[in-house]
Amino acid sequence: MYLGIDVGTQSVKALIYDAQSREVAAVASAPLRLISEADGTREQEAQWWLDALGACLQEFDPGLRAQVQAVGVSAQQHGFVPLGADGEVLAPVKLWCDTATTVECAEITAALGGEEACIAQMGNPVLPGYTAAKILWLKKHHPESYAKLTTILLPHDYINYSLTGELAMEYGDASGTGLMNVRERRWHDAALRAIDDQRDLGDALPVLLDAGEQMGCLRPASAATLGLPPGIPVATGGGDNMMAAIGTGNVSPGRLTVSLGTSGTLFAFSSEPLIDPAGNIAAFCSSTGGWLPLLCTMNCTVATEVSRQLFGLSLDALQAATESVPPGAGGVLTLPFFNGERTPNLPNAKACILGLDEGNYHRDNLLRSAMESAVYGLRAGLDGLADLGLPVSSVRLTGGGAQSAAWRQMVADVFQLPVTVQAVDEGAALGAALQALWMHAGDCAGSLPALLDAHLAVDEARSCEPRADVAALYEEYYANYLRHVAVIGTLYP
CA–CA dist 290, 413 (Å, integer) = 30
Burial of 272 (0-12, 13-18, 19+ CB in 10 A): exposed
CA–CA dist 285, 185 (Å, integer) = 8
Angle between helices 363-387 and 405-415 (to 10 degrees): 50
- In sequence order, which residues have a C-beta less than 8 Å from that of residue 331 and are 6 or more positions away? 355, 357, 360
DSSP state of 422: B
Strand residue runs (E) in 361-404: 395-398
From the candidates 6, 98, 240, 364, give the one annotated as an active-site residue.
240
CA–CA dist 46, 61 (Å, integer) = 26
**To which H or E segment does residue 180 belong?**
strand 180-181
DSSP state of 82: E
Q: Where are the alpha helices (DSSP H) in 25-130?
A: 46-58, 62-65, 102-111, 115-122
Residues written for the chain:
493
**C-alpha dist (Å) from residue 485 to 332, 348, 371, 411:** 14, 13, 16, 20
CA–CA dist 206, 151 (Å, integer) = 7
Residues 45 and 57 sit within 8 Å (Cβ to Cβ): no
Rg (CA), the chain: 22
DSSP state of 95: P
CA–CA dist 245, 379 (Å, integer) = 18
Whether 6 is catalytic = no
CA–CA dist 453, 97 (Å, integer) = 33
Residues 294 and 256 sit within 8 Å (Cβ to Cβ): no
Which candidate, 261, 345, 267, places its Cα nearest to that of 304? 261
Residues 360 and 332 sit within 8 Å (Cβ to Cβ): yes
Residues designated catalytic: 240
